[in-house]
Structure 1
Amino acid sequence: MERSLINMCNSASVLFCTAILTIVFTFYILNYPRTITVQEYSQTNIVTRHYENVSRSCNLFKGQWIPDMRDTLYTNFSCTTIPYRRNCFFHGRKDEDFLHWRWKPEQCEIPRFSSKTFLSIVQGKTMAFVGDSLARNQMDSLLCLLSTEETPKEVYKDAEDRSMTWEFPKHNFTLMALWSQFLVSATETMFNGSATGSFDLHLDKVDRNWSEKLPFIDYAIFSDVQWFFRQHYLYEGSNLIGCILCQVPNMTDLGLNFAIKRAFQAAFKQINECKSCKNIFTVLRTFSPSHFENGTWNTGGGCNRTQPVKIEDVIGRDSNWELRKIQVEEIETATEKGEYLGNRFEILDITEIMGMRPDGHPGLYGGNTWMTGYSDCIHWCLPGPIDVWNELLLEMIKRQTYSLN
């Protein structure tokens, strides 16, 4: 074909030759096999451009909180999905100092959360936050952040307002909160027909509320611990093997750490053994510290600070670091097994970061009508320092996406 075109050009006018070549070139471009779609090219460019701002060698979780006087990305007025009990300003909180800090890693800067970037990366995907009310707390933060780009649509909510599903139709993105206090199967014990607040935990069986949805999930963010801080009975198979935080004659108290270790072990094993699952990007969000001072939640303890504390006041505090250690050990074990299966496991390590933020809890401004007079020093105000969890999550997803391109 090239030789015939040359012969034509030799025997025809320059104008005619140019016209013929233009037609052939245009046909070639329009019909040439495309190796990357416009969407993929756009997504790759967005990820690469933002990723360049963060070195892969930078430890996102070592740093300090520094002042930041910029407005928050959303407010309790602009985001209409903030749960009643996390809407601190609605319940009378006056100080805003706790909003004006940003997390600064030691060796790099991380960009401010970009809802446009986040939604571009997760387009066509499903993300689930699996765990207790703090997992829901993070999902609600992300919901508010993403709503600055697209208004989400609620498509499911259970009767207790615990598990729910939201969709972002323009980006074909699904966001879920899957309620699971222990990650493993649990049945509340009853006494004279009344709930006791104590559970039978089956350490070798994962909670079906989340496990049945695994085949549809691309990103899974796990977090759990708070519900373990009470008396429970531990089972393997149908055998009672012991308890935690109990004083029962002829029964072994196996300890809080034992139960937490086994629960995360079972959860990550389920992911690696799921035959019908996609290559799931699994994130473990480490233990989120509470900040009760001058007592516990039911003995007058509160959290009235309005500014962060120094790292020196956090390191080694209480049992936070032991609980974090257990979680990290289990995610590292799961990583080794998942590497050959295409599953990726990462740690969203916020224990130290949030240990410095006693100022970010609802305290007495959580609308706890059923617990009047008690402070909530476990959950986090929206907006508030919890938003950094999703800022860091975005950086982790960008690193993962960039490494695949």
Structure 2
Amino acid sequence: MFINQAMFGGEKIAAVQLGGASKSRTIIVQEYNQANIVTRPYENVSRSCNLFKGQWIPDRRDTLYTNFSCTTIPYRRNCFFHGRKDKDFLHWRWKPEQCELPRFSSKTFLSIVQGKTMAFIGDSIARNQMDSLLCLLSTEETPKEVYKDAEDRSMTWEFPKHNFSLMALWSQFLVTATETMFNGSATGSFDLHLDKVDQNWSEKITFIDYAIFSDVQWFFRQHYLYEGSNLIGCILCQVPNMTDLGLNFAIKRAFQAAFKQINECKNCKNIFTVLRTFSPSHFENGTWNTGGGCNRTRPVKIEDVIGRDSNWELRKIQVEEIETAREKGEYLGNRFEILDITEIMGMRPDGHPGLYGGNTWMTGYSDCIHWCLPGPIDVWNELLLEMIKRQTFSLN
């Protein structure tokens, strides 16, 4: 093996040749000069480059954290703790077509958000991203947990040296929801009030500078829909004399209500609102409760993405709603942006816990919805950092 190194544009490029003359291969490894990023975090920010069109390419660098170095990884996302052996899924990086996506810099992130509050608002996948960010930032400063609810769903962490607060606000529908009961038992079905936002996040929005919204998974079941306290229909139901308004209708109205709340909030700061688009699941050979699994160990090409059409329709609904909110929010000082990961993550069937999620309460079921930590979900926060840098750069 031999290594040639050179400096190019402030980055160190290493060409590593492995094997003998007859079986040699060269891997190009880029090591970003973190010092340059920290001292000049807004330089070389390409605002014209589409961060969300590109491909996954091999990357042999170590992850920025491990399941040993980060002590806050939730039990069910700690795939190596539960026996996962393959590590190839960790050695890919996202490469946009027309630019480079810098490796995550905790120094840069914390320097930009100093004195601010960031909240991930949504379901357990929103929490999944928050946990990823918590691990990444802990390489710079050890966070302090200051709040956690009884169900370990909503929580707040503080980074005292940077006066930065990081929150997960549980809201599986974004709007007000009440679980329906039958003979005193919960049914898993909800009454959704599409014109009333969930107070679990809306009551805290005045203190938030960055709001990252994401939701969809909990809509995939039978629910009853209300507007103005009136029952207007249902989704995924077969009830006589009741209109099934469809999954897309409910999701559209929920995001409408959430973004309307942002734009009509009179006591809010100028909120930087991010929509993280639908995160696709990767069940194969069945669904979650019919033996479906996700056993792949490497990315797939975009043309091989399973269920792309349905995933794309859900993404389209979300994008339409945030674009509408952006038009209304511009003159109010609110910023609305899209963290567009649907296609990116459609190519990563290898990154889910599968059978390595510690689901002792659901033994034998694969988790092909959430993402291992560390894992490909970490790219969401690399993309988020670039979006925040672009936003900060445009204001200076």
TM (normalized to structure 1)? 0.88
More strand by share: 2
Relative distance call for 1:39 and 1:345 in structure 2 (3 A) is farther
- 1:314/1:355 contact within 8 Å kept: yes
Alpha-carbon distance in 1 for matches of 2:59, 2:88: 10
Partner of 1:365, secondary structure, is coil
Contact 2:58 2:92 in 1 (8 A): yes
Q: In the TM superposition, what is the alpha-carbon distance from 1:314 to its structure 2 partner?
A: 2.2
Indicate how the Cα distance of structure 1 residues 289 and 271 shifts in structure 2: closer, same or farther if over 3 A, else same. Answer: same
2:154, 2:305 → 1: CA distance?
33
Determine the C-alpha separation between the residues in 2 that align with 1:80 and 1:89: 13
Query: C-alpha distance in 2, partners of 1:106/1:41?
Result: 18
Aligned residues of 2:45 and 2:389 also touching (Cα < 8 A): no
CA contact (8 A) 2:119 2:167 kept: yes
- Which residue, 7, 10, 20 being the options, matches 1:15? 7
DSSP-derived class of the 1:319 partner: helix
Please identify the structure whose Cα radius of gyration is greater: 1
Measure, in 2, the Cα distance between the counterparts of 1:296 and 1:318. 17
Q: Residues 189 and 196 of structure 1 are in contact (CA less than 8 Å); yes or no, is this contact kept in structure 2?
A: yes
Which string of whole-angstrom CA distances, capped at 9 and with x for unpartnered residues, describes residues 44-88 of structure 1? 996783433341100000000000000000000000000000000
Aligned counterparts of 1:118 and 1:77: Cα–Cα separation in 2? 22
Deviations 1:291-332 (A, max 9, x none): 000000000000000000001112862410000000000000
Q: Distance in 2 between matches of 1:44 and 1:210?
A: 37
Instruction: From the superposition, tell whether residues 214 and 43 of structure 1 become closer, same or farther in structure 2 (CA, over 3 Å).
Output: farther
| Contact 1:136 1:177 (8 Å CA) reproduced | yes
Q: Is the counterpart of residue 293 in structure 1 residue 284 in structure 2?
A: yes
Shift of the 135–108 alpha-carbon distance from structure 1 to 2, 3 Å rule, reads same
SS of the equivalent of 1:117 reads helix
Q: Which of 135, 139, 145 in structure 2 is aligned with 1:154?
A: 145
Q: Secondary structure at the match of 1:161?
A: coil
Separation (CA, whole Å) in 2 of partners of 1:209 and 1:307: 38
Secondary structure of 1:241's counterpart equals strand
CA distance in 2, matches of 1:195, 1:154: 31
Say if 1:108 and 1:194 are closer, same or farther in 2 by CA, change over 3 A.
same
Distance 2:255 2:317 in 1: 9
1:195 counterpart SS class: strand
How many aligned residue pairs are there? Answer: 376
> By how many angstroms is 1:43 displaced?
14
Paired residues for 1:5-404 under 5 Å: 49-314=40-305, 317-404=308-395
How big is the shift at 1:382? 0.1
Whether the 8 Å contact between 2:34 and 2:105 is mirrored in structure 1 is: no
| Compared CA separation, residues 37 and 313, structure 1 to 2 (3 A) | closer
Unaligned runs of 5+ in 1: 1-12, 17-33
Q: How far apart are residue 42 of structure 1 and its match?
A: 17
Secondary structure at the residue paired with 2:30? helix
Give the direction of change, closer, same or farther, for the CA distance of 1:250–1:149 in structure 2 (3 Å limit): same
Contact 1:47–1:401 (CA<8 Å) still a contact in 2? no
The structure-2 alpha-carbon separation of the partners of 1:163 and 1:70, relative to structure 1 and needing over 3 Å to count, comes to same
Say whether the 8 Å CA contact 1:53–1:111 is kept in structure 2: no
2:375, 2:238 → 1: CA distance?
Answer: 39
Q: In the aligned structure 2, how far is the partner of 1:51 from the partner of 1:323?
A: 33
1:45–1:402: structure 2 CA closer, same or farther, 3 Å change rule? farther
Contact kept, 8 Å, 1:53 with 1:110, in 2: the verdict is no
Give, in whole Å, the separation in 1 of the partners of 2:34 and 2:193: 43
Deviations 1:357-388 (A, max 9, x none): 00000000000011000000000000000000
Task: Note if contact 1:44-1:402 (Cα within 8 Å) is conserved in structure 2.
Answer: no
Answer yes or no: is the 8 Å Cα contact 2:29–2:61 preserved in 1: no
Q: Deviations over 1:129-171 (max 9, x none)?
A: 0000000000000000000000000000000000000000000
What is the CA–CA distance in structure 2 between the aligned matches of 1:68 and 1:15, rounded to whole Å?
18
Indicate the SS of the match to 2:133: helix
Runs of 4+ in 1 over 2 A off after TM superposition: 13-16, 34-54
Could you give the per-residue CA deviations for residues 226-252 of structure 1, whole angstroms, max 9, x where no partner exists? 000000000001100000000000000
**Residues 174 and 198, structure 2, Cα contact 8 Å, conserved in 1:** yes
Report the aligned-residue RMSD: 7.7
* Structure with the higher helix share, 1 or 2: 1
**C-alpha contact (below 8 Å) 1:134/1:379 kept by paired residues:** yes
CA distance in 2, matches of 1:225, 1:38: 37
Measured at CA, do residues 167 and 279 of structure 1 come closer, stay the same or move farther in structure 2, by a change above 3 Å? Answer: same
Separation of aligned partners in 1, 2:28 and 2:54: 39
Contact 1:220–1:281 (8 Å) recurs in 2: yes
d(CA) in 2 for partners of 1:48, 1:74? 23
Post-superposition CA distance 1:264-309 (Å, at most 9, x none): 0000000000000000000000000000000000000000000000
Distance, in Å, in 2 between the alignment partners of 1:348 and 1:317 is 18
- Cα distance, 1:52–1:240 mapped onto 2, change above 3 Å: same
Give the alignment's TM-score, normalised by structure 2.
0.90
- Percent of aligned pairs sharing the same letter: 94
Helix, strand or coil for the counterpart of 2:34? helix
Is the 2:79–2:373 Cα contact (8 Å) retained in structure 1? yes
Asked if the contact 1:47/1:398 (under 8 Å) is kept, the reply is no
2: distance between equivalents of 1:36 and 1:163?
A: 42
When residues 42 and 270 of structure 1 are mapped into structure 2, their CA distance, relative to the original with a 3 A threshold, is farther
CA distance in 2, matches of 1:43, 1:279: 30
Contact 1:70 1:100 in 2 (8 A): yes
* Contact 2:294–2:349 (8 Å) recurs in 1: yes
**Distance (Å, rounded) in 1 between the aligned partners of 2:97 and 2:26:** 39
Deviations, residues 7-32 of structure 1 (Å, cap 9, x unaligned): xxxxxx9999xxxxxxxxxxxxxxxx
Q: CA deviation digits over 1:90-144, x for unaligned, max 9? A: 0000000000000000000011000000000000000000000000000000000
